[in-house]
Chains A and B, each alone.
Chain A
Amino acid sequence: MSTVTPMTTAKPVPSTEPDAGAAARPASQLGALELRGISRAYGAHTALHPLDLTIRGGEFVALLGPSGCGKTTALNSLAGLLPLTAGEIVLDGRRIDTLPPEKRGFGMVFQNYALFPHLTVRANVAFGLKMRGVGKAETTRRVDAVLALVHLGEQAHKHPGQLSGGQQQRVAIARAIVMEPPLVLMDEPLSNLDAALRLEMRSEIRRIHQEFGLTTLYVTHDQEEALSLADRLVVLHEGRVSQIGTPADLYEHPANPHVAAFMGYRNLLPLTVTSADAAGAAATGRGLTVRGTAVGDGQLREGGPVTVAIRPEDLRIAGADEPALGEAVAEIVEYHGRVLHVEAVTREGDRIHLKSSGTVRPGDALSVAVDAERALFFPEPAPSTVAATEPAGEVPS
């Protein structure tokens, strides 16, 4: 039922392409990287609450969250660009949070690429090798191999200013991986590209990650990007971890309404619990009645508040014999190929979103229904920022 096919390989597939020059590369330079309660405060404001995370070699981990959630802080602390205020970072048993960025040996791809404008593509990529005193012949060999991997062999003599956005992005990646770093950090690397290029580079990044045997920590605010790229996701909210899990975990079993809203549960209804037992839970309010599944950490209590999260694609027009969730009038109908996206208004004035393969016209009165296992009951109140979150309905399969 999941529309996501997570990349299940914890161990990357070694490249078999001859031009990649990566065939003989070891699977990963990293055993395990442990973040033990790392935290960053600015005076009284804590940008990142203690974060525990273990990244295994070859893994692709995404840090996901809206802007200001602390994900860039976490990344910069890991890179050493921002000193920690608590916690430690341990790389294969060796503590590294005391090292300056240049001694950690991580590769980093910056949001604005941060290419050296006065150096050619080749010199940009070779910079790290030069700093480490790698010999000339060895440098040339490795730079050539990496440039071939990112398909930039032809552009080696150009300056960054002469390249397109996508090419600059590839240079930035090449520069970060030429050192064969144990960990590559990527800070929203696709946010400066247009939509089509973003899709293309997304597959490129995944391909490079696998062919080069990288371990990658990827920061993004785009859940679609995170779901399609990562083996594991860390969702941050206001500096705290909301949930850690595989894309399928998060997509199917969000831990709280924040994560649900992020994962495309577009209908978040504040209702009141009428019954809660082992068989299931029911809630009512605002002219609606729902049977659903209790999830999350807290306990449902009869008469207590509940947030019911339902995906638009799980909401359907009720059959003649099944109990309806409620009545709503279709207001906006968008054509999306085989399905229609319908925005309908309930009698109480709440907006609900559903998908329909049948014909719906604006003004039609709809009776909607949902399967009990597809309606998630969260004891917490709904996030106020739902409207600001983009739906994740169209996750590519």
Chain B
Amino acid sequence: MKQFESDDNSASIISVTDKVRPLALGMPVIAVHFLGDRAAFIGAEENVALVDGAGEISTVVVHGGGILCVATDGARIVMGGDDGKLVALDKKGETALLATDPKRRWIDNVALHPDGAVAWSAGKTAFVRSGKAEEKSFEVPSTVGGLAFAPKGVRLAVAHYNGVTLWFPNMAANAEVLEWAGSHLGVVFSPDNKFLVTAMHEPALHGWRLADHRHMRMTGYPGRVRSMSWSAGGKALATSGADSVIMWPFASKDGPMGKEPAMFAPLQARVSMVACHPKQDILAVGYSDGTILMVRMTDGAEILVRKNGGAAVSALAWNPKGTLLAFAAEDGDGGLLEL
């Protein structure tokens, strides 16, 4: 176990803490994404803080209440709120209202497709709107826990209690159901479209190989997995939920079946956020005690980005080029690191 308790301790590790541009965001942050050359910090309520390279903060009001879900396709960020609204924010910092739930139900989940389609959910109903086609909806047996578009084709994974439904909004074909007992709260496709992984309410992941629906149980976490990130090329899936980063291997055709995960960067704190570098085998890791590390996947070498002592890290993202790392904690303390 390693700890970064004091200055003398951090002498033993390479530190780039002095290169971080600190940001006082003034609000709890739930996510960060890059929009063009600005970092967009999504607040827990109402606002997004857009921060440029010079650290200038401009605030945009996006919701009239709590912000419950966020997705981005690089061109825009789409958010759902407890005001029943689905709102898009573009690179210019302009907002567009995409949908309003007629009953003002919470918009719990949102997903974006590279071709411009957007999916969202309220209660048990998932909705899809693509550029050309009209809006379609699909109901699952219990409240939607997570949404994800497949990387190829228009196929939407809808996670719910006791499994995931794969829905093809543009086809007459029946939806396909992947069953597994329990509540599935997050869902991701592997970038090669071969695997589907869910984060469950219990501290575990579950996966399916899509070709034959073979199950993959990924258990052993002390806490619920809230953050998942695919490494460059989709070779591995990095996850939060333990006191080190848990990385499941997905490079072979069997995925992680019968394999042990790699474990990196153990601290005496829970990993709260993971973000893999878009091009290199590096990932950024945020912890419940506020620490942020950069870790090289090949040998586990660590670089200190932020010392511990603050609130849990709640947002972490690289820009698409991989030259900027943005982060924020639950208490609104954030930063930008240029590499």
A and B interact: no
Q: Which A residues lie at the B interface, using CB under 8 A?
A: none
Q: Which B residues lie at the A interface, using CB under 8 A?
A: none
